[in-house]
Structure 1
Amino acid sequence: LADRNQADNQQETSPTLPAADRTQPAAGIPPVRRSPADWTQDTIPAGRNRQPYPNANRGFWAWLSTGAFLATAGAAAVFIGLLLVGVNLWMSGRQMDTARVEAMTGQVQVATNAAGTTWKNISTGYRLKRGDQLRTLGASSATLAFFEGSRTLVSPNSALALEELNGSSGKAIQVKIDLTSGETSNKVTPLQGEKSYFLVQTPSGTASVHGTEFNVRVTKNGLSKFAVNTGVVQVKNNTGEVTLQAGQTTSASENGTIADPTYQFSVQGSVLSIDETTGMWEVSGMEFDVVETTAISGQPQLGDTVSVTGRILEDQTRVADSIEPADDNSQTAFFTGTLEKNEGEEWQVSGLFVTVNQDTRVDENLAIGDPVRITFNLLNDGTWLGLKVESLVENPQEPVTTATMTADPNARPGYEFTPDEVENVSCESSDLNVTGTLRNTASNAKDYAANVRLGYLIDRGGQYIDEVSLSPDEWTRIDAGQTVTFQIHMKMNEKWSEAQKNQKPDDDENDAEVKLRIFIASATNRPDHLNGRLTVTVRANCQVDQTPTITGTFTATQPTESTLEGTKTPRASKTPAALAPTRTPANTGQCPGDKTQP
């Protein structure tokens, strides 16, 4: 092969020149040299295959069979591999420095400019980066997932900014959340490396953790609340610092004062008494003190259902930190403390007594001195009946979960909302109720639906909504051909009332509008065919007659006097009058003030 290549090279360096090129040039004029391509063009007759270098292909295949090709190919493979690794590391680095919106309900937005004057709606999967501002509107929430496993649940009517967000290999992370209003629930995985940190900053204090579950809340009167479920949290500002253990809470006021750590309590139920002289309130049999720093939303009256959270002092005095209207009419309560006695039916937790019987769910391996959370009911005789005793020690045994319907991979249920659109006009109302209907369209008995759960999104008008609830929102089984009904309850805020009052006659295009989308969030059988949805549209217009194209069951209840949280703390009247239960007017087709309602 080498001899053949040498012969080829000799042929290429000694071409046969055409006659014109063999002519001797004139004296003083250098000979004209032409390229091999020109030689070939002159010597090869037309019609024959033209090949400027007759042996070029033969030389290429010779090179291909040598080690030079293998070396070149190997180098190229290494280069491409390094390039792919670099791209992968670059993409991973970009994801480390973001927080993904893992789940959301309602209307969640991010600011489109640094001043936070304009906002846009986002959806599940959106990635937040350092400096981004996020807010949730009424009845909306979002779960943020960080790359190393930590998560933050942003509650309704909350606003925050990701002031710092950096990630690196080895699951090291640096997070600083600036919470300006609302509440976050944070579950932080154990931090890796000395430079890692997870901070939640408020206007009056900052919480720092190294792997724990804790809640931070900022009220509109400037009070910041910090509560720990498991682990340890440090709360500090310019005036001091405290350390919270599992089950403890503290608060920081605008003037910088941080309260001593205490255990916490929460109760939801009917307001039974209000004593303006002593500041003592009673809700569902639990008494507590209302002080100047207590944040009260609205003007609760006797008979109202409220939700109360507060602190348990060393002398067992309970002090309310916040009082708000309740989401529903359920009567529940819990408190945290140190387990002091767990024998017989009467248990003692931080000096408080609770009855524990065979129906009480109790975590295993509880020991005296452990921090615990007691969920209980208040009986008529004043007894606190324990429903659940949970350990707040890190990594306790998970309680037994409720059994669900077994999936059948061969079942093929169909899902349909009937009707799939409800459109109405709201006239002078603050509480709106809609009845929805869901049907399994399958006809074969084997095609049942299992573990069906509903969800909702607020497509428009989240700024008008305080709360949205679905009741019921899940079913263990829906047989083929079966129809189930559910209630959609929307609690509107003062902005909605103002929108109704300011509506101009014959101005349909500028109606304030709320649009909800109800959908099937999950189901065990045929989970890839959850296509049904119900759209609920409500417009604020009492000035003109409106007739919906498709009408569902719709009820508007009359508003009661209330104000948004953040107003001055009201003092209850010395002899408050009981407030009669809110009545739902019959569907007569008339609005108050003789205005027509469809």
Structure 2
Amino acid sequence: MKKYPASLLFIWVLAVPSMGLWAQNGAVSKARETTSQAAFIQEISGKVETKAPGSDWVSAVEGQMIENGTMISTGFKGVALIALGNSVLTVRPLTRLTLREIRENAGNEQVRLDMETGRIRADVSPPAGGRTDFMVRSPITTASVRGTSFEFDGTILIVAQGQVRFTGGDSTSVYVSAGHRVTINSMSGEPILVAEMIREEMKPDLPAGMSAAARGKEINPWKGTDLSAEGTVYVGTKWVE
């Protein structure tokens, strides 16, 4: 049997565990590339409730952490300000939504929200040196952005800053820029980009048996909003007798 110096044996014994440690560190580093981001309630006004996965509805409190899969509901006068990583979500009264996912991946953030009903405002800010992929889905539309500010109620989108991709029920997408609105054609599900017709009002043919007042009420839940203040109107949804 060939003999080796004791010093070589000592080096070999140290080297084998070290290689295992390097492999383990590499796996940990890989796993950390995708991690959950912090989501918590900053401010509350009125009635706000949350329902974590597998739990009952409870009254929300300021500073409360929000985990993925948590439902958030606001009452008649309830408003919640929620921090989602670097972004801030304002949940308006009579809103119910679910935080599907918030995570960090290689310096970028990803946020996914499902809104059942109501209205929100999102101020999306990317992390330093990265970007934020922010998506809100309603039963019939989807709004997805990368760094912007917007309001959304499931059928109508108002963009304050940046640009938002708005996808209707027919899978048609439009890009909505700052200062513009978009809504949905209730008959086809197609987005109607109001920015294309600044300060104009159109009177299309109405469906048989439907009055202009009834038609306008059906697809304009924000009746009374001063559209001219932003220089835009609802094309095909604001009727002129």
| TM exceeding 0.5 | yes
- Tell me the secondary structure at the aligned position of residue 247 of structure 1: coil
* Residue aligning to 1:247: 179
2:123 counterpart (174, 187, 192): 187
Q: Deviation of residue 321 (structure 1)?
A: 4.8
* Residue aligning to 1:199: 135
- Tell me the secondary structure at the aligned position of residue 77 of structure 2: coil
2:217 counterpart (282, 294, 314): 294
Letter in 2 for 1:257: G
* Residue aligning to 2:102: 165
Structure 1 stretches lacking a partner, 5+ long: 1-85, 219-223, 266-276, 280-289, 297-319, 327-331, 339-349, 351-598
Q: Deviation digits for residues 111-162 of structure 1, max 9, x if unmatched?
A: 1555x8x4110111011111111111110100111222x1110000100001
Identity score, percent: 22
Q: Deviation of residue 168 (structure 1)?
A: 4.4
Distance 2:90 2:185 in 1: 23
Distance 2:188 2:136 in 1: 16
Q: Deviation of residue 215 (structure 1)?
A: 0.7
- Tell me whether 1:97 sits opposite 2:37 in the alignment: yes
* Residue aligning to 1:153: 90
* Residue aligning to 2:145: 209
* Residue aligning to 1:406: none
C-alpha spacing 1:255/1:130, structure 2 compared with 1 (3 Å): farther
- Tell me whether 1:322 sits opposite 2:190 in the alignment: no
Distance 1:255 1:197 in 2: 30
1:336 counterpart (221, 230, 238): 230
Distance 2:73 2:120 in 1: 11
Q: Deviation digits for residues 303-350 of structure 1, max 9, x if unmatched?
A: xxxxxxxxxxxxxxxxx55337x9xxxxx8752138xxxxxxxxxxx9
- Tell me the secondary structure at the aligned position of residue 129 of structure 1: coil
* Residue aligning to 2:167: 236
Distance 1:254 1:129 in 2: 34
- Tell me the secondary structure at the aligned position of residue 123 of structure 1: coil
1:143 counterpart (81, 88, 107): 81
Structure 2 stretches lacking a partner, 5+ long: 1-27, 199-209, 234-241
- Contact kept, 8 Å, 2:51 with 2:71, in 1: the verdict is yes
C-alpha spacing 1:124/1:180, structure 2 compared with 1 (3 Å): same
Q: Deviation of residue 189 (structure 1)?
A: 1.1
Distance 2:211 2:103 in 1: 51
Letter in 1 for 2:191: A
- Tell me the secondary structure at the aligned position of residue 335 of structure 1: helix
TM-score, normalisation: structure 1: 0.28
* Residue aligning to 1:175: 111
* Residue aligning to 1:259: 191
Larger Rg: 1
Q: Deviation of residue 256 (structure 1)?
A: 5.4
Higher strand share: 1
Letter in 1 for 2:217: T
Q: Deviation digits for residues 541-589 of structure 1, max 9, x if unmatched?
A: xxxxxxxxxxxxxxxxxxxxxxxxxxxxxxxxxxxxxxxxxxxxxxxxx
Distance 1:256 1:99 in 2: 36
Structure 1 vs Structure 2 CA RMSD: 3.4
Q: Deviation of residue 295 (structure 1)?
A: 4.0
Q: Deviation of residue 230 (structure 1)?
A: 1.4
Q: Deviation digits for residues 236-290 of structure 1, max 9, x if unmatched?
A: 144311111111111235665223211499xxxxxxxxxxx974xxxxxxxxxx4
Figure out how many residues of one structure are paired with residues of the other and give that number.
Answer: 188
Distance 2:92 2:191 in 1: 24
C-alpha spacing 1:103/1:186, structure 2 compared with 1 (3 Å): same
Q: Deviation of residue 190 (structure 1)?
A: 3.8
TM-score, normalisation: structure 2: 0.66
- Contact kept, 8 Å, 2:102 with 2:109, in 1: the verdict is yes
- Contact kept, 8 Å, 1:204 with 1:253, in 2: the verdict is no
- Tell me the secondary structure at the aligned position of residue 260 of structure 1: strand
- Tell me the secondary structure at the aligned position of residue 294 of structure 1: helix
